[in-house]
Amino acid sequence: MTFFLFVALALSFTALLCFYRLIVGPTVPDKIVAAQVIGTNTMAVLILIAVIYDQPMFIDITLTYAMLSFLAIIAVARYLGGERVITC
């Protein structure tokens, strides 16, 4: 259990570093990548919580979070590319 705790703390520390890049990042793509890395770290911590507490519900939450994160990055990429985000 201490190994999982160490990994969760390391992932949280890297998320803090990415949060700094999100705030200070010189360009918009840097900020987008930092936000994606924070999301990925959050998913990894949720999976660790699922393993530690033996709660498969957190895995479902993580998969939903991953799908929403994917859709968000597609929308941002289309918006920055000059296309309409939602086409009807």
Only one residue has tokens 């570093």, namely: 17
Q: How confident is the model at residue 74 (pLDDT cuts 50, 70, 90)?
A: confident
The residue type of 42 is T
Tokens standing for residue 18: 């990415």
Helix axes 28-53, 2-24, angle to 10 degrees: 160
Judge contact between 18 and 37, C-beta under 8 A.
yes
pLDDT digits (tens, 9 = 90+) for 25-71: 888 888 888 889 999 999 999 998 898 899 999 999 999 999 999 99
